[in-house]
Amino acid sequence: MPEDRDWEAYKVPPTRTPVSEKTPSVLNPVSFIETVFKYVIDAPVTFVREWIERQQAKNKFYYYHQKFRRVPDLSECLEDDYLCFFEAEAQWKRDRMVDQEIVEIIRERLGACKQREGPNQFQNCAKEAEQLLQVTKAYQDRYGDLGVHGNARTCLMKQKHRMMEERKAQADASQET
Amino acid sequence: MAAMSLLLRAAAVWGARRAASSTRLPWLVGVARLPGTVAPVRHSSSHGKRMFIIKATSFYDTRFLNLLRFYIFLTAIPAALFITYVNIFIGEAELAEIPEGYTPDYWEYYKHPISRWIARYLLDPPEKDYEKEMALLDVEAKKTQLRLMQLEARRLMRQRGDGPWYHYETPDKNLVDNSMKSTPDN
């Protein structure tokens, strides 16, 4: 739903072209085309759109983003408690969708930054690039190679393996020192 | 097949126009004819000789296409009008923060008014669907547990022999004829 996003986040800084006051003697074709566009296309379309919005403003109604209650995680479920598994699975799927949207937003931020900066992008977008790198690395660590049949259980097993690797690395490091 | 015949017909018309434009008389150029159907004749104004053109029938093709168009537009046009009316006069919902102390109804989470209507009047609330699914899972879980318990009981009764199962009917010992074993010299 791009029209519901906050485009203020991507605001381009104001341009610094100087305003020229002198009027040339030759009719500027660009301004002629602009006025033609304004009267032929822009005005009727704006009129129709505003008429439609007046009709729709008579009874307004709203929609909301649903907030889900947090339920016990898969790691807090007892054995053979299939209802707990089901709820934890649903919550994990929702969390994964949220994480995917987060990665998408950070990617869009980098794209907007590149578009905004133009030739300066390699210097000025370093923060956004670093953020995207960290976020995608985190996403890959958590949901990365689970595959299309990945569910909460496989993700938990992946986390367990990660923790075991970490512990082993820590034990090796403390053994060497 | 109908489309193929349309394609062939269009190709024949294009070929006729191309052949006609280079060599033929000027007033025959724009007229669309199949090749070999126009023959110039002396005293007729612009038609040439009237020919009986033998070609494959297009009756079934045109009938099919007419019926297809009719039955598609029969519901497509009212549906398009209705959806246009809804989009113009009712319009989509606006996104808002959930007000304090207000729990929205389950259909108020959709944007388009038709989606809202379907969610409200045709479908069950998602909480009910969730509970229905969990009820199915619960029944199946209890069934698996009962089956496991049954297998365990069967195993123990077979092993220990003190339960109601695994009793086999044996004939009554009073029916056994021991006469052939009763004396040692038989």
ipTM of this complex prediction, to 2 decimal places: 0.75
**d(CA A149, nearest CA chain B) in Å:** 20
**d(CA A66, nearest CA chain B) in Å:** 7
What is the mean pLDDT of the segment spanning B139-168?
92
> What are the pLDDT digits (tens) for B115-133?
999 999 999 999 999 999 9
pLDDT of residue B3: 63
C-alpha span between B74 and B41 (Å, rounded): 48
Are B69 and B63 a contacting pair, CB within 8 Å? Answer: no
pLDDT of chain A, 177 residues: tens digit per residue? 445 556 666 777 777 888 777 766 677 888 889 999 999 999 999 999 999 999 999 989 999 999 999 999 999 999 989 999 999 999 999 999 999 999 999 999 999 999 988 898 888 889 999 999 999 999 999 999 998 888 999 999 999 999 999 999 999 999 998
Please, which residues 77-106 of chain A have a Cβ atom closer than 8 Å to chain B?
Answer: 80, 82-83, 86-87, 90
Helical packing angle, A82-117 and A126-143, nearest 10°: 160
- Ranking A57-61, B18-22, B102-106 by mean pLDDT, the lowest is B18-22
Average confidence score pLDDT of chain A: 89
Mutation target for A interface from B85, B94, B106, B110: give the one with most A CBs within 10 A: B94
Contacts of B95 in chain A (CB under 8 A): 1, 4, 62-65
> What are the pLDDT digits (tens) for B49-67?
888 899 999 999 999 999 9
Are A71 and A88 a contacting pair, CB within 8 Å? Answer: yes
| Out of A52, A66, A87, closest to residue B88 by CB | A52
pLDDT of residue B31: 54
Higher pLDDT, A42 or B47: A42
pLDDT of residue A164: 96
> What are the pLDDT digits (tens) for B1-18?
666 667 776 776 676 676
DSSP codes of every residue in chain B: -HHHHHHHHHHHHHHHHHHHHHHS-GGGSSS---TT-----TT-SSS-S---------HHHHHHHHHHHHHHHHHHHHHHHHHHHIIIII-PPEE-PPPTT-PPPGGGG-SSHHHHHIIIIISPPHHHHHHHHHHHHHHHHHHHHHHHHHHHHHHHHHHH--SSSS------GGG---HHHHSTT-
pLDDT of residue A72: 93
> What are the pLDDT digits (tens) for A25-60?
677 888 889 999 999 999 999 999 999 999 999 989
Q: Do A86 and B110 touch (CB under 8 A)?
A: no
Q: Is A120 on the interface with B (CB under 8 A)?
A: no
**d(CA A74, nearest CA chain B) in Å:** 16
Average confidence score pLDDT of chain B: 86
Contacts of B113 in chain A (CB under 8 A): 61
pLDDT of residue A62: 94
pLDDT of residue B32: 56
pLDDT of residue A2: 45
> What are the pLDDT digits (tens) for A145-161?
998 888 999 999 999 99
What is the mean pLDDT of the segment spanning B138-147?
96
pLDDT of residue A20: 76
- Per-residue pLDDT at B71 exceeds 70: yes
pLDDT of residue A1: 42
What is the mean pLDDT of the segment spanning B160-175?
87
pLDDT of residue B183: 87
Q: Do A83 and B141 touch (CB under 8 A)?
A: yes
Q: Which positions ≥6 away from B165 have C-beta within 8 Å?
A: B153, B154, B157, B158
C-alpha span between B21 and B17 (Å, rounded): 6
- Ranking B80-84, B104-108, B172-176 by mean pLDDT, the lowest is B172-176
Share of chain B above pLDDT 90, in %: 57
Contacts of A64 in chain B (CB under 8 A): 95-98, 104, 108-109
Mutation target for B interface from A63, A65, A66, A84: give the one with most B CBs within 10 A: A63
C-alpha span between A110 and A127 (Å, rounded): 9
